[in-house]
């Protein structure tokens, strides 16, 4: 078993050897190290770190520093246990990050680990399973199942705004009332930080009033009914109907999307928080929206990502065989 002196793998590890800095200075450095990653990433890394450390403890090997063989064996174990390829990739990233913070060589950079990752990704059962896009038609079906009352109003606003702005679930969870600015044509929504803007430079999205989904009206209806004038826009509601002060978590938002997809007759396992974002991009592509305009709303930086949605959305339009099949 590893000795008690073996450091626990953690995203908060800070190399201390050779340092005479006072404790408060080291704590400040740790704070900034944590801030370098999004909160959702830190939570995921901590979970990944705990899984790796537990596996290493059970096999009597060191987790920090870890050998390439140890990392390769752990990832192979995760694949055999049915972990998704994306989860395995994130676990490897967490291991690399912990070693970086501890000023240790990255064991994941070794060819042994590269070969294992390549083998995992080539397995047919490890192919990336993308969440189903909640297109405009799917969204309409989901919205029709929202119940009366505060929870229904919140969920309609969440689904409508999430779709209209092609928001990530983390962006919806972080949204504050102060981020909303009324406009004659709709609403301006400030995204203070996102996956592609970790430094928090901020970006603004325009949400039109709309005639079908009517996202602005849905949002205003929720805020008015809930009496929310500041703080988080989307909040948990207790069973007694009390609106809590804290924000919904991004995981809760994903669960809400799944629940309404199931209520509308779709497979809830195929849907998630990303479905609203994918649904907007897919619907816009189906309706012939310009690529650059789609990217303005979605915030994608790489047009190749959006082109993938466009190709899938238009796969049957002007098909090469439509004239003779």
The residues annotated as belonging to the active site are 168, 195, 274, 277, 300, 309
Q: Return all residues near 254 (Cβ < 8 A) that are at least 6 apart.
A: 169, 272, 273
User: CA 170, CA 23: separation in Å to the nearest integer?
Assistant: 33
**Strand (E) or helix (H) holding 191:** strand 186-191
Q: Return all residues near 66 (Cβ < 8 A) that are at least 6 apart.
A: 9, 52, 56, 95, 99, 107
Give me the residues paired with residue 194 across strands.
197
How many CA atoms are closer than 13 Å to the CA of 186, on its beta-carbon side? 19
User: CA 261, CA 119: separation in Å to the nearest integer?
Assistant: 34
Residue among 273, 241, 243 at smallest CA distance from 257: 273
Give me the residues paired with residue 183 across strands.
186
User: CA 279, CA 135: separation in Å to the nearest integer?
Assistant: 4
What the block records as the tokens of 60 is 């009597």
User: CA 80, CA 176: separation in Å to the nearest integer?
Assistant: 42
Count CB neighbours of 198 within 10 A: 13
């Amino acid at each position: 078993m590893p000795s008690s002196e073996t450091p626990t793998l953690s995203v908060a590890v800070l190399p201390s050897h050779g340092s005479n800095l006072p404790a408060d200075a080291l704590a400040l450095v740790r704070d900034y190290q944590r801030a370098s990653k999004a909160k959702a990433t830190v939570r995921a890394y901590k979970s990944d770190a705990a899984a790796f450390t537990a596996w290493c403890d059970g096999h009597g090997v060191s987790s920090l520093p870890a050998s390439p063989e140890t990392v390769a064996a752990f990832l192979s174990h995760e694949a055999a246990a049915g972990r998704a390829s994306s989860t395995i990739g994130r676990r490897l990233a967490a291991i690399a990050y912990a070693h970086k913070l501890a000023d240790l060589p990255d064991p994941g950079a070794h060819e042994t680990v590269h070969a294992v990752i390549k083998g995992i990704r080539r397995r047919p059962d490890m192919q990336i399973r993308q969440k189903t896009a909640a297109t405009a038609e799917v969204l309409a079906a989901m919205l029709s199942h929202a119940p009366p009352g505060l929870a229904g109003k919140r969920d309609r606003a969440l689904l409508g705004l999430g779709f209209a702005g092609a928001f990530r679930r983390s962006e919806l969870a972080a949204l504050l009332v102060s981020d909303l600015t009324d406009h004659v044509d709709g609403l301006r929504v400030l995204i203070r930080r996102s996956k592609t803007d970790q430094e928090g430079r901020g970006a603004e999205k325009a949400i039109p009033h709309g005639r079908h989904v009517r996202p602005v009206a849905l949002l205003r209806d929720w805020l008015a009914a809930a009496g929310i004038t500041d703080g988080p826009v989307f909040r948990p509601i207790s069973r007694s109907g009390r609106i809590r002060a804290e924000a919904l978590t991004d995981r809760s938002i994903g669960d809400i999307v799944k629940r309404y997809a199931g209520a509308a007759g779709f497979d809830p396992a195929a849907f998630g928080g990303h479905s609203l974002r994918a649904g907007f991009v897919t619907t816009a592509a189906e309706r012939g929206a310009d690529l650059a305009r789609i990217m303005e709303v979605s915030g994608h930086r790489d047009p190749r990502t959006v082109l993938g949605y466009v190709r899938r959305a238009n796969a049957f339009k002007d098909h090469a065989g439509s004239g003779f099949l």
